[in-house]
Amino acid sequence: MDIITVHNLKKYFGEGFCQVKALDGINLSIEKGKFTAIVGASGSGKTTLMNTIGGLYEPTEGEVFVDGINLAELSEKQLTIFRRRKVGYVFQDYNLVPELTIQENILFPLMLDDSRPDKMFFSEITKLLGLSDKLNRFPHMLSGGGQQCTAIARALITKPSIILADEPTGSFDAKTSQNVAGLLKIITETFHQTLIMITHNLELAQLADRVIKLQDGRIVE
């Protein structure tokens, strides 16, 4: 079963002479529970594709269906709930809240939704991600890798059906990258989640069930 379907998706930024065709006619189906890697040169449209699938960007043209729902038909409020409950994001630049502790950052999506944390699950993922002894620290006190692990734990905590990870291992060395990407793969398999990961690292892409290559806003492989 497909969890994501994208029809003739176009996303343009700017107008006229300076217009950038970040996505230029993407057709794509992603099967539920699978791990898809997105690769491609810088500027090829990877982040734009991920943000459009995740309901952060509105398409210029074309449609995105997630679990049979056309995102264009959701109201602003419904879209906010969709983003909060269905999708876990790991952003390229972490996006942690500097004034909150590591624990508070991880639990933040649940707080927004007035839901209670599953304490067992919280301790399980923080342990797996090596954060158990850092929960009371603030983001700036952690390395780039530690901050990225916090962002990963925050994406997982709501047990969303889709995890969108934009270069989740960008700040790690080769070995840690393999470990963290492997962990993401195992966790998402355990919870039957669909994982989409952007990476520049072709070795990491090999962990995926499928690799999609973007070039100039189009799928080339």
Ligand X SMILES: Nc1ncnc2c1ncn2[C@@H]1O[C@H](COP(=O)(O)OP(=O)(O)OP(=O)(O)O)[C@@H](O)[C@H]1O
Q: Nearest distance from residue 127's CB to ligand X, in Å?
A: 31
Give the range of 40-48, 56-64, 107-115, 207-215 binding Mg ion by CB under 5 A.
40-48
Q: Is 47 a binder of Mg ion (CB under 5 A)?
A: yes
- Beta strands of 18-93 (E only): which ranges? 20-31, 35-40, 61-66, 69-70, 87-90
CA-based max dimension of the chain? 54
Backbone phi and psi for residue 127, each to the nearest 5 degrees, phi listed first: -70, -50
Give the range of 38-46, 69-77, 116-124, 184-192 binding Mg ion by CB under 5 A.
38-46
Q: Nearest distance from residue 167's CB to ligand X, in Å?
A: 7
Q: Nearest distance from residue 48's CB to ligand X, in Å?
A: 3
Query: Which residues are within 8 A (CB) of 148 and not within 5 positions of it... i.e. 6 or more apart?
Result: 90, 94, 168, 169, 170, 171, 172, 180
Sign for the pseudo-dihedral over CA of 140, 143, 149, 151: positive
45 binds, among ligand X, Mg ion, none (CB under 5 to 8 A by kind): ligand X
Distance from the Cα of residue 13 to its chain's centroid: 21
Residues near ligand X (CB under 6 A) are 13-14, 20, 22, 40, 42-48
75 binds, among Mg ion, ligand X, none (CB under 5 to 8 A by kind): none
Q: Is 158 a binder of Mg ion (CB under 5 A)?
A: no
